[in-house]
């Protein structure tokens, strides 16, 4: 099976993962906004800990109306723009197309499924340190694992092929049998570190070097784990320590929310904080520390 890929959002994630697929010889079509003219002339550059590469020619488009229909559509844009997704995705669809939401947060697939009835949707979790540092220029700092899971995909073989394609392109990719589990697991890291780096104006290494913020990170992680448990997602408390140890070993990093704040962009508060808080509350558990962090972020967002 040969898959034609479309990438919506060619930034830190779409540029890296889409670029890796294209470098491996797969057919990939990229949507660009502000970078369109630059990439059309200069191509796409990826600086990576695993080896730098430059794609001098890419299939670049300024609108999805100009793109061909695609078998797999990788949505890599920030969730703050998800209200645009139905109109962006529709021109790319054929009856068997699969939309993969490579985004952070909770409730994403359910929301898009309600907006695009009958469309096959999957989710993806990117465990990666990667930033866009210039027009058509991605800097991959660390990690890169990708976990995919079905929301309502009728043919499981296509997701298996997507995983195989990523693996062939040099990406550590896995297929999860429980997308909900995978999304809550990613939130255990995203909730403390995205928010705390903004509120405290710092990076992950500084949070880990200080005993107080390291302990607060652990407390937030445990609260997310308990929230997941209340929702029937069996995360173990030991996951918190595993993620602390992983972050200590990680290169100094400013998560995507910190970069959004630094550059005056809207932060992804709704799906990373508000939706999980609401979902846990509906299950009878209050994530009080997470709720406090959410309110601080709302205050900061309102004063940007």
What amino acid positions are annotated as catalytic residues?
186
CA distances from 198 to 76, 106, 258 (A): 22, 20, 5
What angle do helix axes 211-230 and 179-199 make, rounded to 10 degrees? 150
Query: In angstroms, rounded to a whole number, what is the distance separating the alpha carbons of residues 144 and 72?
Result: 20
Please choose, from the candidates 124, 125, 299, the residue with its C-alpha nearest in 3D space to the C-alpha of residue 195.
Answer: 299
Element (H, E) at 214: helix 211-230
And the tokens for 269? 């508060």
Query: In angstroms, rounded to a whole number, what is the distance separating the alpha carbons of residues 296 and 302?
Result: 10
CA quadruple 74, 77, 83, 87: dihedral sign:
negative
What angle do helix axes 211-230 and 275-282 make, rounded to 10 degrees? 50
């Amino acid at each position: 099976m040969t898959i034609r890929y479309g990438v919506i959002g060619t930034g830190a994630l779409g540029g890296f993962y889409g670029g890796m697929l294209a470098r491996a010889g797969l057919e990939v079509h990229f949507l660009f906004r502000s970078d369109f003219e630059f990439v059309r002339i200069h191509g796409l550059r990826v600086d990576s800990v695993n080896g730098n590469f430059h794609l001098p020619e890419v299939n670049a488009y300024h609108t999805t109306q100009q793109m061909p229909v695609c078998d797999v559509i990788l949505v890599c844009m920030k969730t703050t723009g998800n209200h645009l997704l139905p109109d962006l995705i529709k021109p790319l669809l054929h009856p068997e197309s699969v939309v993969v939401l490579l985004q952070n947060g909770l409730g994403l697939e359910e929301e898009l499924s309600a907006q695009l009835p009958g469309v096959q949707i999957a989710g993806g979790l990117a465990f990666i340190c990667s930033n866009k540092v210039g027009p058509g220029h991605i800097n991959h700092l660390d990690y890169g694992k990708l976990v995919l899971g079905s929301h309502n995909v009728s043919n499981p073989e296509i997701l298996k092929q997507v995983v195989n394609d990523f693996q062939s392109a040099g990406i550590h990719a896995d297929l999860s049998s429980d997308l909900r589990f995978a999304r809550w697991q990613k939130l255990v890291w995203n909730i403390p570190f995205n928010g705390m780096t903004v509120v405290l104006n710092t990076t992950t290494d500084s949070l880990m070097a200080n005993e107080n913020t390291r302990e607060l990170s652990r407390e937030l992680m445990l609260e997310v784990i308990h929230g997941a448990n209340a929702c029937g997602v069996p995360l173990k408390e030991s996951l918190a320590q595993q993620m602390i140890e992983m972050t200590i070993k990680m290169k100094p990093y400013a998560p995507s929310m910190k970069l959004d704040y630094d550059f005056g962009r809207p932060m992804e508060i709704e799906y990373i904080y508000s939706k999980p808080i609401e979902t846990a509350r509906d299950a009878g558990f209050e994530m009080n520390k997470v709720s406090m962090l959410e309110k601080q972020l709302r205050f900061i967002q309102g004063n940007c």
